[in-house]
C-alpha cells in the first residue's frame, strides 16, 4: 500500500464515494479511553507555562483586509456550529486518546475558541526541553503542505495570464529530462493538484531524483485525468513548475553534465519554491513556516506516549507535497487571507475549493446542514502499523459562517483497546454532530 493513502484513511465507505462518520459507539470508545496522567508544568513567572514559537511572529492584520472587488457572500443559512459543544466533544475524544493536542477556532479571523492539552515535547519520556502544547508550537504539517502549494501555484497562474490550470505542464519541466514518454504530454496542472496525473511512485518520496525518474518513465496514459492516485510527487513537481513559470530558471537551462544538472536544478528549484511561497503566501499574513526543526519543534509520539518522541527532521529536499513546519496560528492566518481573496482572487479560491486542489474534501465540498465544508489533513509517521508508529498529524477545516478550525495532534488517536481513528473523520463527525438550528 502507498503510505500516502493513509491520509485518506477513514474518509470513504468501501464504495469509494460515501463519506463516513464515526458512530456513536466509536465516539464513546474514545471518550471512555483509559485516563492519561498529565504531569504538572512548572510555571515560568516571565514566560508562562511554555515559551512560544522559535521564530519571531508579528500580529496579522486584525481584522484582515476587506476582500478584493467582486466578493459575493454565500446565501444565508440559519444552521450553524455550536462552538462550545464542538470544543467539549473534541476534548472528550482526544484528551485520553492522544499524547497531546491543540486546536483553535476562528470566525471572521477572530479567535473564538482554543484548546491545548498535554505535551508537545514530553519530559515524562526524557524529552528536553519540556514543552506544553499551545497554538504557536511549530509542527510538521505533512500533507497540509499540499493546500499551501496549491494556493501558491494559483497565485502564480493568476500573475501569469499565459498559464491556466487546464494547460499541459510538460513544457515547463526541465528540457534535459527525457520527458517525452508515456502520457506526460497529457498531464495538466489540474491533474497534479487533484492527484489524477497518472504517476504512481508506490511511496511517499518526492525528492528530485524520484520525480525525474518517474517522469522519464512516463505517466500512465490511461490513468491521466481518470484514475486518482494520491502522490506526494504531484505537488512536489509543482515546486519545479513554480520555479520555471515564475522566471527563476528557464526550462532550457543546462549546466552540462547530468549530475551537475541534477544538483543545480534541485538546489535552484527548491530555493525558488521556498522564496515564492514565503514572499506571496506566508509573509504577507505574518506566517513564517520552515522546512527544518530545532529544540522547540513538536515531537511525534506513540499513541500511548510510551517511548521518547521523534523529530521527523528537515524536509528542505522535498517541499511541495509535504515538508512545511507551521503553527496553528500561521495556518489559520493563511487560510483566512485565502478565503477573503487576499492571496488569490475569489475565483481562484473557488477553483481550489470546488475542484479540490490540494484538498481531501470531494469536488464542490462535503454537503452538511450548515453548507459545504472543505478540509485537508496531514499525517506523518514512522510505521504504517498505528500501534507502533510515532505520529504527527493535523487537519484544517474551512467551514460555513466564515469559520476555520485547525487541529494538531502529536500521536495516533486510539481508544486504548486496539481501535485507531482518523483525525479527519473525527473532526468532521464532531462538526456535523454539533450543527444546530435556531
Q: Tell me the pLDDT tens digit for each residue of 200-211.
A: 998 889 999 999
Confidence of residue 46 (pLDDT cuts 50, 70, 90): very low
* Predicted confidence (pLDDT) at residue 144 exceeds the cutoff of 60: yes
pLDDT value at residue 395: 97
Rounded Cα distance, 268 and 241, in Å = 12
For range 187-197, the mean pLDDT:
97
Main-chain dihedrals φ then ψ at residue 113, nearest 5 degrees: -170, 140
What is the percent of the chain where pLDDT is above 90?
83
* Predicted confidence (pLDDT) at residue 62 exceeds the cutoff of 60: no
pTM for the structure as a whole: 0.91
- Give every CB contact of residue 245 below 8 A, 6+ residues apart in sequence: 156, 157, 160, 163, 172
Burial 32-47 (b: 16+ CB within 10 A, else e): ebeebeeeeeeeeeee
For range 386-403, the mean pLDDT:
96
Please state the length of the chain. Answer: 438
pLDDT value at residue 174: 98
For range 59-83, the mean pLDDT:
64
* pLDDT tens digits along 302-353: 999 999 999 999 999 999 999 999 999 999 999 999 999 999 999 999 999 9
pLDDT value at residue 6: 63
Residue scoring higher pLDDT (256 or 53): 256
How do strand 139-140 and strand 325-326 relate by DSSP bridges?
Answer: antiparallel
Return the bridge partners of 111, or none: 106
* Predicted confidence (pLDDT) at residue 8 exceeds the cutoff of 90: no
**Least confident span in 5-9, 50-54, 216-220:** 50-54
pLDDT value at residue 43: 42
Confidence of residue 355 (pLDDT cuts 50, 70, 90): very high
> Which segments of 201-257 does DSSP mark as H helices, in order?
208-217, 232-245
pLDDT value at residue 378: 95
**Least confident span in 5-14, 118-127, 247-256, 428-437:** 5-14
Confidence of residue 1 (pLDDT cuts 50, 70, 90): very low
* Predicted confidence (pLDDT) at residue 53 exceeds the cutoff of 60: no
* pLDDT tens digits along 121-133: 999 999 999 999 9
pLDDT value at residue 315: 94
pLDDT value at residue 370: 96
pLDDT value at residue 320: 95
pLDDT value at residue 13: 75
* Predicted confidence (pLDDT) at residue 159 exceeds the cutoff of 70: yes
For range 279-284, the mean pLDDT:
94
Angle at 412 between CA 377 and CA 146, to 5 degrees: 20
**Least confident span in 6-15, 41-50, 175-184, 331-340:** 41-50
Select from 320, 243, 265 the least CA-distant residue to 289: 320
Select from 376, 430, 429, 435 the least CA-distant residue to 400: 435
Q: Give the containing element (helix H, strand E) for 391.
A: strand 391-399
pLDDT value at residue 438: 84
DSSP annotation of 290 reads: B
pLDDT value at residue 67: 54
CB 8 within 8 A of CB 360: yes
* Predicted confidence (pLDDT) at residue 66 exceeds the cutoff of 90: no
**Cell numbers for 422:** 482518523
Residue scoring higher pLDDT (70 or 381): 381
For range 57-62, the mean pLDDT:
40
**Least confident span in 57-66, 300-309, 323-332, 397-406:** 57-66
- Give every CB contact of residue 363 below 8 A, 6+ residues apart in sequence: 354, 355, 356
Amino acid at each position: 500500500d502507498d503510505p500516502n493513502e493513509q491520509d485518506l484513511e477513514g474518509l470513504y465507505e468501501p464504495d469509494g464515494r460515501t463519506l463516513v462518520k464515526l458512530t456513536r459507539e466509536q465516539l464513546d470508545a474514545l471518550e471512555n479511553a483509559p485516563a492519561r496522567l498529565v504531569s504538572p508544568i512548572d510555571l515560568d513567572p516571565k514566560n508562562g507555562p511554555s515559551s512560544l514559537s522559535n521564530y519571531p511572529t508579528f500580529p496579522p492584520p486584525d481584522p484582515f483586509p476587506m476582500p478584493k472587488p467582486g466578493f459575493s457572500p454565500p446565501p444565508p443559512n440559519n444552521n450553524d456550529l455550536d462552538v462550545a459543544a464542538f470544543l467539549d466533544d473534541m476534548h472528550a475524544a482526544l484528551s485520553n486518546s492522544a499524547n497531546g493536542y491543540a486546536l483553535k477556532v476562528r470566525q471572521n479571523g477572530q479567535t473564538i475558541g482554543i484548546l491545548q492539552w498535554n505535551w508537545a515535547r514530553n519530559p515524562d519520556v526524557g524529552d528536553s526541553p519540556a514543552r506544553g502544547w499551545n497554538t504557536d508550537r511549530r509542527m510538521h504539517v505533512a500533507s497540509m503542505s499540499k493546500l499551501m502549494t496549491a494556493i501558491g501555484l494559483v497565485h502564480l497562474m493568476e500573475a501569469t495570464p499565459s498559464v491556466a490550470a487546464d494547460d499541459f505542464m510538460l513544457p515547463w519541466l526541465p528540457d534535459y529530462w527525457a520527458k517525452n514518454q508515456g502520457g506526460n504530454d497529457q498531464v495538466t496542472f489540474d491533474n497534479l493538484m487533484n492527484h489524477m496525473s497518472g504517476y504512481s511512485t508506490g511511496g511517499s518520496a518526492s525528492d528530485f531524483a524520484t520525480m525525474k525518474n518517474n517522469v522519464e518513465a512516463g505517466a500512465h496514459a490511461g490513468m491521466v485525468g481518470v484514475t486518482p492516485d494520491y502522490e506526494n510527487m504531484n505537488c512536489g513537481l509543482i515546486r519545479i513548475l513554480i520555479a520555471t513559470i515564475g522566471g527563476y530558471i528557464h526550462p532550457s537551462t543546462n549546466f552540462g553534465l547530468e549530475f551537475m544538472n541534477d544538483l543545480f536544478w534541485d538546489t535552484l528549484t527548491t530555493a525558488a519554491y521556498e522564496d515564492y511561497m514565503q514572499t506571496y503566501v506566508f509573509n504577507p499574513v505574518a506566517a513564517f513556516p520552515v522546512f527544518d526543526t530545532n529544540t522547540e519543534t513538536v515531537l511525534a509520539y506513540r499513541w500511548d506516549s510510551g517511548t521518547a518522541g521523534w523529530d521527523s527532521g528537515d524536509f528542505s529536499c522535498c517541499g511541495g507535497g509535504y515538508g512545511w513546519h507551521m503553527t496553528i496560528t500561521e495556518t489559520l492566518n493563511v487560510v483566512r487571507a485565502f478565503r477573503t481573496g487576499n492571496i488569490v482572487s475569489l475565483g481562484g479560491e473557488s477553483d481550489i475549493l470546488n475542484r479540490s486542489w490540494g484538498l481531501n474534501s470531494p469536488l464542490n465540498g462535503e454537503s452538511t446542514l450548515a453548507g459545504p465544508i472543505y478540509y485537508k489533513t496531514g499525517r506523518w509517521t514512522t510505521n504504517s502499523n498505528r500501534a507502533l508508529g510515532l505520529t504527527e498529524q493535523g487537519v484544517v477545516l474551512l467551514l460555513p459562517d466564515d469559520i476555520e478550525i485547525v487541529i494538531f495532534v502529536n500521536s495516533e488517536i486510539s481508544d486504548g483497546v486496539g481501535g485507531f481513528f482518523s483525525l479527519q473523520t473525527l473532526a468532521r463527525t464532531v462538526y456535523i454532530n454539533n450543527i444546530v438550528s435556531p
